[in-house]
Structure 1
Amino acid sequence: MSLHVWWIYVTAVFLISATPGPNMLHVMTQSIAHGPRRALATMAGLMSAVLLCLVASALGLGAVLKASPRLFDLLRYAGVAYLVWLGIKAWRAPVGVPDGTPARSRSDGALYATGLLTGLSNPKLIVFAAALFPQFIDMTRPFWTQLAILIASFVAIESFWYAMYALGGAHLARWLAPANRQRLFNRGTALLFIGFGGALLGARA
């Protein structure tokens, strides 16, 4: 995996992680209810779920890809299609503020468990990782080293956005309250996803 390909991967994950989703909205609501410091337990639970999904996706992925180069290419193109689908979904996303009810004071263990269960409720991350990783792995180089770099980069970027949503969640929710701003944000994100998917068609891992 070249530095150029790694930068493409980092850019894609950065944009994908920035997009409001169940995990980010959970961090935001927990930060509003308990404060950014207490939300660290929630973020730890969510990140544990992300790591479990990524590792589950990686188990057996190397053997499958090495045994079937054609499957490698199919997964690569499936990843492109998935990014385009994310763009279409973002473009068509309805506007409106999620109904988040502040929770009562809870222990760090309870916040961690809730974050873990919230993260594990989205098994699509495993499919996403299996479709995305093959596009950035050079099969002529050590597989597990590259995979470790991809997972570490994913975790670092995801953690950054957890922190951003925790610290600025209340302000972000207020700024995105008007429907026109939500619509602009959704469509801008959609164009980025679709454009990145198109760019990947010309990039070889």
Structure 2
Amino acid sequence: MALHTWWLYVTAVFVISATPGPNMLHVMVQSIQHGPRRALASMAGLMTANLIYLVASALGLGALLKASPGLYDALRYAGVAYLLWLGIKAWRAPMGGGEGAAVPVARRSLRVLYATGLGTGLSNPKLIVFAAALLPQFIDVGRPFVPQLGVLVATFMVIEAFWFGVYATGGRSLARWLAPANRQRLFNRVTGALFIGFGAALLGSRI
């Protein structure tokens, strides 16, 4: 893989990763609720899901999903259900009263934060198909496949981690503004609606 080809890949992934989606929204919400440090566990879960899908795509699962619409739909419906569950959970998050301050969010274990991040990352099987379509465009068939794939996957993970950090930092800043209960309630409603919207978009998508 030539250097200029790698830079094209970096540019494409940088722009794509920056686009708000369920993963970035999840990172921001966890940073607001639990702080950027504990949100690292959620990021680790999301990164694990990304790695699983990228490797699965390289192993041919993307082609299998294209050839098996039923299997793809099964994964897609599971992802839709999970995103809808996240949306309803966010929408119905409990609020405090009296002094106008939001109720502190119950402290979750790092294991739970990781598992929730993993589930969110795995909720969108389109990443497999996306990777199957994107990665081959940047691989030189005249050079060894595995080293090139390793570079592409590592590059994707680093860029994704960078944007996770950006959204987590934004969540930390928002946490101060969200101290009053009415703002927290509004944020919960918007977050819930966005997760439900992501689920609806996934439901209406096709390979």
TM-score (normalised: structure 2): 0.62
In the TM superposition, residue 164 of structure 1 has moved relative to its aligned partner by: 1.0
- Structure 1 SS opposite 2:143: coil
Matched, 1:147 2:143: no
Counterpart in 2 of 1:105?
107
Counterpart in 1 of 2:125?
123
- Structure 1 SS opposite 2:23: helix
Any runs of at least 4 consecutive aligned residues in structure 1 with deviations exceeding 2 A, and if so which?
Answer: 98-104, 169-174
CA distance in 2, matches of 1:37, 1:171: 14
Counterpart in 2 of 1:201?
none
Change (3 A) 1:103 1:16: farther
Aligned partners of 2:42 and 2:116 also within 8 Å: yes
Gaps of 5+ in 1: 65-97, 175-205
TM-score (normalised: structure 1): 0.63
The CA RMSD over aligned residues, in Å, is 2.2
In the TM superposition, residue 38 of structure 1 has moved relative to its aligned partner by: 0.6
Give the residue type in structure 1 aligned to 2:131: A
Aligned partners of 1:29 and 1:100 also within 8 Å: no
Counterpart in 2 of 1:24?
24
Aligned partners of 1:58 and 1:130 also within 8 Å: yes
CA distance in 2, matches of 1:11, 1:140: 23
Give the residue type in structure 1 aligned to 2:17: S
1:14-56 deviation per Cα after TM superposition (whole angstroms, max 9, x unaligned): 1111111000000000000000001000000000000000010
In the TM superposition, residue 167 of structure 1 has moved relative to its aligned partner by: 1.3
Change (3 A) 1:100 1:143: farther
Aligned partners of 2:47 and 2:157 also within 8 Å: yes
Give the residue type in structure 2 aligned to 1:118: T
Paired residues in the alignment total 139
1:74-97 deviation per Cα after TM superposition (whole angstroms, max 9, x unaligned): xxxxxxxxxxxxxxxxxxxxxxxx
Counterpart in 1 of 2:170?
168
- Structure 2 SS opposite 1:40: helix
